[in-house]
Amino acid sequence: MTSLEGSLFDRIRNAREQMRPSERKVADYIVSQPEKAISQGISAMAAESGISDPTVLRFCRAIGYDGFQDFKLGLAQSIAVGTAGIQHGIEPDDRAPTLANKICSQTINAVNDLAKTVDWDQVERAIDVLAAAARIEFHGAGASGAVAIDAQHKFFRLNVPTVAYVDPHMQIMSAASLTCGDALVSFSYTGRAREVVNAARLARQREASVVAVTTPGTALAEIASHPICLPVIENTEHYTPMTSRLLQLVIVDILEVGVALRRGPSLSHHLRRLKDALLQARLDPTSAGN
């Protein structure tokens, strides 16, 4: 096997932008379902990825392996050395400085990849929809539920009715009450959170706009009227969601600032009132130590 540095998943991420579109399909499949991929032959993997056998071979060589079996051995080793529930690339004996360097590097690379890979025309259209919405809801589950709550906290300031739901029953009932002119923002990195997907489907049936922050080719992306697809950088079913959650938060900030700009100068007065009101909730800095 070729001598290689860095984890297999890091190499896939770093090489992805230089790959052909068909090779990226293999990359996304491997990262999202490594345990399934490890048990497959080349034809099965090609069929699952929707490409040809030779494309799988080109992908293996693009990330530094001599062939398919060479790549499969590297994939098996990468899965074996990973600690369940912990971000890939992290080793059991890593100390704080090493952890900080690895996690910061992964985060920086992921944010840079986000800027290169997201369909910004789709983001612009999502901003337009949210700026015009009479009501905005945010749905998510698990780690994405925390992102939904953060989004509601930010959009609440923009003088539009907002709410965040992480309870599946509330998501379904609330989605059933949406109408044309309302907007739902659904967060699911895997795009397969059952309740989030079902609520999004119901919202579309109610003619509400659905912005989905997810990954390409997922059930949620297919349902959404405005899918914002993040790069596939980690398998959140095997590892704790870390970088993927941060990318969702970056998208929230972009959407929120974009909507604020669309709302124009009138929003500035509203935001100033909120800031002034918050002053009453803070201690006078001169009273420190008294």
Encode pLDDT of 198-231 as tens digits. Answer: 999 999 999 999 999 998 889 999 999 999 999 8
Query: At 248, which helix (H) or strand (E)?
Result: helix 243-263
**Residues whose CB falls within 8 Å of the CB of residue 168, separated by 6 or more in sequence, listed in order:** 141, 194, 195, 199
Predicted local distance difference test score (pLDDT) of residue 36? 79
- The whole-number pLDDT of residue 289 equals 55
| Domains delineated in the chain | 8-81 (1.10.10.10), 117-277 (3.40.50.10490)
Encode pLDDT of 104-114 as tens digits.
877 887 788 78
Residue 238 has pLDDT above 70, yes or no: no
Contact in structure between 209 and 193 (CB atoms under 8 Å): no
CA nearest neighbour of 109 among 117, 97, 98: 117
pLDDT of residue 122: 95
Band of residue 4 on the pLDDT scale cut at 50, 70, 90: very low
**Which pLDDT tens digit goes with each residue over 132-181?**
999 999 999 988 999 999 999 999 989 889 999 999 999 999 999 999 99
Check residue 79 and give its pLDDT: 64
Query: Would you call 280 exposed, middle or buried from its count of C-beta atoms within 10 A (0-12, 13-18, 19+)?
Result: exposed
Chain segment 280-289, per-residue pLDDT in tens: 877 776 665 5
What is each CA distance from 175 to 197, 226, 259, in whole angstroms? 11, 16, 22
In the three-class reduction of DSSP (H, G, I as helix; E, B as strand; rest coil), residue 229 is classed as strand
| Lowest-confidence pick of 15-24, 40-49, 179-188, 260-269 | 260-269
SS (H, E, C) 5-64: CCCHHHHHHHHHHHCCHHHHHHHHHHHHCHHHHCCCCHHHHHHHHCCCHHHHHHHHHHCC
List residues bridging with 213 in a β-sheet.
Answer: 187, 228
Calculate ∠ Cα 77-81-84, nearest 5°. Answer: 125
Cα separation, 161 vs 182, in Å, equals 10
Question: Is 204 in contact with 195 (CB distance < 8 Å)?
Answer: no
- For residue range 9-26, what is the model confidence (pLDDT) as tens digits? 777 878 888 899 999 999
